Chain A
Amino acid sequence: MDYYLSVATFAALNAILALGLNLISGFCGQVSLGHAAFYGLGAYAAALCAVAGAPIWLSIPVGMLVAGVFGVITGFAALRVREDFLAIVTMGVGFLFLGVVRKQQWLGAEMGIARIPSPLDKWGYALLSIGAAIALLLLSLHIRRSWMGRAFGAVAQDEDAARSVGIDVAGYKITAFLLGTAAAGLAGGIYAHMTQLIVPDAFNFVQSVTILAMVVVGGIGSSWGVVAGAVLLTLMPEMFRFINDYKLLVYGGLLLVVMRFSPGGLAGLVFRLTGRRLA
């Protein structure tokens, strides 16, 4: 039972991360290769608060806030550079985050932060993360239907055209970064309390790529697809435990094959098979 609970919790955390990235990359078209940095920012901020004695209902929002603030800063950077330039800049943000944290004694440097208070039990974390994932899914679906969602779509499709019809491109980009990175901060806060130890390497480039992979395997832009992608890629290593040695080979190969034959991901596949677009 505990096993299924912990897998479900990680699937939900990954869904939160992927939905957050989907807001930025899927809805608003700003490809990010550094999402794990915001996951880490949330985790570190929440951990520091919790170690200083703050209760979990305070530490997790602080994590979201810190991640969101840095997300907004990155959003401003996104105004200066576009597309492939932005992809590499966000990759740089990820490496910069790691490189700074590794050297800061007050963040525990390589030792990370240990003995983070864990006020909930396994059920608590599972329900909290699944609840948060569902809330974010509903928010995503709502945004998609709203005026904001259409504005995001316009920015993603053609910035200049969006600007010419009076859409506040800068404002929407920054909003997308704020929402997406705060979501990552939320996941980070829950993760920190649950594992009680955070180390820099948990938030490295591989983690960023993993989150991006969940988004594109699910189908970039589709909230349901992204959740499915997150769940699938969380379960995959569990299902493939019997091929321990070939796990990464299969994982890399899967990314390649999905992009080659169904670049729309699972959502694209559903569309092709049933003619229905997943929201």
Chain B
Amino acid sequence: MKFHHIASVLLAAALAATSAAPVLAQSIRIGFHAPLTGFAASDGKSAVQGAELAVEQINAAGGVNGRKIELVVQDDQARPDQALPLANKYIGDGLKIVVSGSYSGPTRAAAGVFHQAKVPYISAYAIHPDITRAGNFVFRTSFMGEVQGKAAAKLIGEILKKRKVTLLTLNNDFGQALTAGFKEVAGRFGISIASEYTFGMGDRQFGSIVASVKKDDPEILYVSGYFFNGGPLVAQLRAAGVTAPIVGTEGFDTHNFITVAKDAAEGVMITTSLDRDSKAVPMRKFITDYETKWKAPADMVAASTHTAIYVAAEGLRRGGADDGTKIRAAIAGIKDFEVATGKIGFNELGEIYKAAQVQVIKGGQFRFFATIDDPVLLAPPTK
């Protein structure tokens, strides 16, 4: 690695000395880790595809300050003990910015290391509240779970005007954060929680939960989970004759959800950050380019990592490619930056505010339903 580095510097120097041609600039490396193998490999794949698309688009548009950017992808298996050596490796290899396309465990473990080494670190979609609290070199480009839960409460209580809700919560940090945020503000929107049931990441069979929902007969359901457990859950609810509307989360924001739940997915609403019907250019370009490049519909994980890479590139553009502290300051200064997931900017904790998109599934497609733009309700924490 070192030899390679020296060799390429020498080569560049030799070229500069012997020809009048412009110096062949080395590409800027951006670290990127995601769960390529293990239980979270499906999100890992979307994450890598979103990131690679961002790199391709940025390079096609001339790169960053005339230099190409390049991803250094590593697998963390969604395990914290894999993330620590990996973080140190990135730092040891001299990378000046790293993006996490992974879950909370590994991201939080790595965040402390990057902060100490003064290397800016951007979490694309991990939701644990403590990630950005690792220090001011750490940023996040997605909603926090609590914030999204609050958006869902507003959707249910104010827009849909439903009162009696049953919560079906996924047992992981994502599900618990969503439910916590939802419960915190439910009273404010006149919502009463009729009942709450939980399920695990590996559960696919929900017979007893479905029977309980039938008994409780709520006006509406708020369901967390991902396509692989939420899809079967929604399908089983509908197959058993539960007709109450279902509000999901960005965990359902992938076409796989519709593939699994099929007709049962019709009418399901989700809170997310990706608006398929948006006219905004960066979002349109992301959605169409993604489908062209990967022959698959874009999802939320891909959009979030795509966004995070754009933020990283913007940091490099404004802060230069050599000094982590300058890049950090540049990222912290980003305001109203238009990316695939909307207009974003960071607060003093490194969190973003953005409006929540409500999408509804119609004719097997995600469609615009509403936007919840409430800077007070959806304000991320500042410390």
Contacts and interface: CB of A to CB of B under 8 A. Distances in A.
Tell me if chains A and B make direct contact, with any CB pair below 8 A.
Answer: yes
Interface of A: 1-7, 10, 102-103, 109-112, 114-115, 118, 191, 194-197, 199, 201-202, 206, 237-238, 241, 244-245, 247-248
A248 B85 contact: no
Nearest to A14: B81
A111 B171 contact: no
A261 to B, nearest CB: 25
Interface in B220-276: none
Contact of A3 (B36, B89, B108, B172): B89
Given A115-B133, A197-B130, A109 B84 contact: no
B81 A3 contact: no
Interface in B1-55: 36-38
B316 to A, nearest CB: 23
B177 A202 contact: no
B130 A244 contact: no
Interface in B118-141: 128-130, 133-134
List the 8 closest A-B pairs by CB distance, nearest first: A114-B130, A3-B88, A3-B92, A244-B75, A2-B88, A197-B108, A3-B89, A6-B88
Contacts of A201: 78, 105, 172
A112 B128 CA distance: 10
A111 B176 contact: yes
A10 B85 contact: yes
Contacts of A248: 37-38, 77
A245 B75 contact: yes
Contacts of B104: 199
Interface in B302-336: none
Given A3-B88, A6-B84, A110-B175, A244 B74 contact: yes
A245 B74 CA distance: 9
B176 A110 contact: yes
A227 B77 CA distance: 24
Contact of B81 (A109, A111, A196, A202): A202
Given A2-B91, A102-B200, 18 more contacts: A1-B92, A2-B117, A3-B88, A7-B85, A7-B88, A111-B173, A114-B133, A195-B80, A201-B78, A201-B105, A202-B81, A237-B82, A238-B85, A241-B75, A244-B37, A244-B75, A245-B36, A248-B38
A237 B109 CA distance: 18
B79 interface: yes
20 contacts: A3-B88, A6-B85, A7-B85, A10-B85, A109-B176, A110-B171, A110-B173, A191-B81, A194-B84, A195-B112, A197-B109, A197-B128, A199-B173, A202-B80, A241-B75, A244-B73, A245-B37, A247-B37, A247-B77, A248-B77
A197 B80 contact: yes
Contacts, number: 95
A126 to B, nearest CB: 11
A202 B200 CA distance: 16
A241 B1 CA distance: 14
Interface string B72-116: 011101111110110111011000000000001100110011000
Nearest to A1: B92
Contacts of B130: 114-115, 197
A194 B36 CA distance: 25
A3 B79 contact: no
A20 to B, nearest CB: 17
Contacts of A5: 88
B83 to A, nearest CB: 9
Nearest to A5: B88
Contacts of B89: 3
B85 A244 contact: no
Contacts of B134: 196
Contacts of B175: 110
A40 to B, nearest CB: 12
B84 A111 contact: no
Nearest to B73: A244
B262 to A, nearest CB: 29
A248 B39 CA distance: 11
Nearest to B81: A10
Interface string B171-209: 111011100000000000000000000001000000000
Nearest to A235: B85
A114 B177 CA distance: 14
Contact of A196 (B79, B112, B177): B112
A194 B116 CA distance: 13
Contacts of A109: 176
Given A110-B175, A114-B108, A196-B112, A2 B92 contact: yes
A237 to B, nearest CB: 7
Contact of B105 (A102, A115, A202): A202
Nearest to A249: B37
Contacts of A4: 92
Interface in B335-374: none
Nearest to A8: B85
Nearest to A195: B109
Contact of A111 (B38, B87, B113, B128): B128
Nearest to A113: B130
A202 B38 CA distance: 13
